């Protein structure tokens, strides 16, 4: 889905930019807060993929840019690890005032260390997830180790991290040294999920072991085997979101009630917002995602509109054949429908080169399994043309369109 763009002001008066990922029905099970990696931003691909997938699992997620990063105001050189933690607390206050108090904190890399500190001051938070987090915040010093002499001498230095320039202050380095995690993790008293890749060469796997050993139960560890530190493979992001979604349901209490989507009294509600084409589709009791392929500017998070149209025809065909076979008590075991769509010229057109001379053609190949004779199979083929969606597509259609008031 496309996130909602927000802004809020931290305790120092700096305006921070945020994205809020809401489930399609806008009735989240609970809210979560995501802290990105050191020098990353809310637009980092792994962040957007994980947040999107979590929202599709009913969890609303707020991700934001720390002071001086991304679209947030302020200067990065004036920030410290402690100020990142305070930004997290201010983001939680914003969520509480405008939406709902967050129950889950998620942090990637140094953001993982930050959420552990922030969770200590957030009694409403029930669960914390770290992804590739260092057990000591000072671990990030290796990224600017070559500039430490200049930082010590001049109080700051310009360094390049991940191909981007940053100004690192001496106060940032000193603040990192004052934040050992092990000394307070035993008092965390939150459910903890630690996710880390054994192949992580930026923050090695032993960091996960140190966090795990220092924390009290309930605690869990998930190996992100094969993943990079920056979670560059989209499938790893999807896996992380699936695990968090399932794990959090055990530790974050959710009121058991049937979620009914707000379709405003209509049969279907469709919503598109944001920069790309990811579109949410809701019926009274279900929701799904439609999108366009990456090559035409989409995010490819769901089937495109014509795929959905063919899926409607195909599913209706299969259901119709199943119902007919059941009435006849025929041993139909499985129906598979393969569909394609294209534009073809009318064979009797006077001018087949004109665009108006083309029509849509759906090609439908039906595969039937079961102990059926040739006559029964032929009858099922005839019945397929009587499925409701097929008949709707072939009859004259009137589409009435108006602007909402």
In a domain, 400, yes or no: no
Confidence at residue 47, expressed as pLDDT on a 0 to 100 scale = 87
The 269-272 sheet, strands edge to edge = 269-272, 279-282, 287-290
Q: Does residue 16 have a pLDDT over 80?
A: yes
Residue 273 lies in a domain: no
In a domain, 169, yes or no: yes
| One domain for residues 90 and 175 | yes
367 shares its domain with 220: no
| Residue after which a domain boundary falls, among 251, 279, 297 | 251
CA distances from 24 to 57, 70, 246, 314, 405 (A): 10, 26, 19, 25, 22
Q: Name the domain boundary from 205, 233, 251.
A: 251
Residue 244 pLDDT more than 80? Answer: yes
**What pLDDT is recorded for position 121?**
86
What pTM value is reported for the model? 0.65
Cite the DSSP H helix spans in 128-264. Answer: 148-154, 170-177, 182-185, 206-214, 234-251
- Torsions phi, psi for 137 (to 5 deg): -55, -25
Domain boundary among 219, 251, 283: 251
What is the pLDDT at residue 25?
A: 56
- Say if residue 223 is in the same domain as residue 349: no
- At 383 the pLDDT is 94
| Domain contains 115 | yes
CATH number of the domain at 320, please: 3.30.300.20
Residue 267 lies in a domain: no
d(CA 161, CA 312) in angstroms, rounded, equals 49
On whether both 117 and 191 belong to a single domain, the answer is: yes
Give me the sign of the Cα torsion angle 109, 111, 116, 117. positive
Q: How sure is the predictor about 154, in pLDDT bands with cuts at 50, 70 and 90?
A: low
Residues 37 and 106 in one domain: yes
Range of the domain at 377: 305-394
We report the CATH number of the domain holding residue 138 as 3.40.50.1820
Q: How many domains does the chain divide into? A: 2
For every residue of 272-333, DSSP letters joined together read E-SSS--EEEE-SS-EEEE---GGGT---SS--HHHHHHHHHHHHHHHHHHHHHHHHT--EE
Alpha carbon distance 375, 220 (integer Å): 59
Do 230 and 93 fall into the same domain?
yes
Please report where in the chains the tokens 């305790």 appear, as a residue: 11
Please check whether residue 316 lies inside any domain of the structure: yes
315 and 246: one domain?
no
> Is residue 164 over pLDDT 60?
no
Residue 32 lies in a domain: yes
């Amino acid at each position: 889905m496309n996130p909602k763009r927000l802004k809020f002001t931290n305790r120092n008066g700096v305006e921070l930019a945020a994205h809020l990922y809401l489930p399609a029905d806008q009735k989240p099970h609970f809210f979560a807060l995501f802290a990105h990696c050191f020098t990353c931003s809310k637009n980092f691909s792994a962040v957007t993929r994980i947040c999107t997938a979590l929202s599709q699992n009913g969890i609303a997620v707020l991700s934001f840019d720390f002071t001086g990063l991304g679209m947030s105001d302020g200067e990065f050189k004036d920030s410290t690890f402690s100020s990142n933690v305070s930004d997290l607390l201010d983001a939680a206050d914003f969520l509480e005032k405008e939406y709902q108090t967050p129950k889950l904190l998620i942090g990637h890399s140094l953001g993982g260390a930050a959420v552990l500190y922030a969770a200590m001051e957030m009694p409403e938070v029930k669960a914390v997830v770290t992804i590739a987090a260092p057990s000591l915040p000072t671990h990030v010093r290796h990224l600017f180790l070559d500039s430490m002499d200049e930082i010590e001498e001049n109080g700051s230095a310009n360094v390049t991290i991940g191909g981007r320039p940053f100004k690192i202050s001496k106060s940032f380095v000193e603040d990192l040294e004052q934040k050992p995690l092990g000394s307070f993790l035993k008092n965390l008293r939150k459910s903890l999920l630690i996710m880390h890749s054994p192949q992580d060469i930026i923050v090695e796997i032993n960091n996960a072991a140190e966090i795990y050993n220092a924390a009290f139960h309930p605690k869990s560890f998930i190996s992100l085997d094969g993943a990079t530190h920056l979670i560059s493979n989209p499938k790893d992001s999807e896996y992380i979101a699936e695990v968090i979604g399932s794990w959090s349901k055990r530790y974050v209490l959710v009121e058991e009630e049937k979620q009914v989507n707000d379709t405003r009294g209509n049969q279907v509600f469709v919503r598109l917002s944001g920069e790309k084409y990811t579109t949410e589709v809701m019926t009274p009791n279900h929701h799904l995602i439609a999108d366009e392929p990456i090559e035409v500017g989409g995010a490819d998070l769901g089937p495109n509109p014509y795929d959905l149209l063919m899926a409607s025809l195909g599913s209706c065909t299969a259901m119709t054949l199943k119902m007919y076979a059941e009435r006849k008590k025929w041993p139909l075991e499985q129906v598979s429908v393969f569909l394609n769509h294209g534009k073809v010229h009318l064979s009797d057109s006077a001018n087949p080169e004109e665009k108006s001379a083309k029509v849509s053609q759906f090609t439908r190949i039906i595969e039937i399994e079961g102990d059926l004779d040739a006559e029964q199979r032929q009858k099922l083929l005839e019945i397929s043309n009587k499925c409701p969606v097929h008949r709707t597509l072939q009859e004259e259609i009137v589409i009435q369109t108006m602007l909402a008031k």
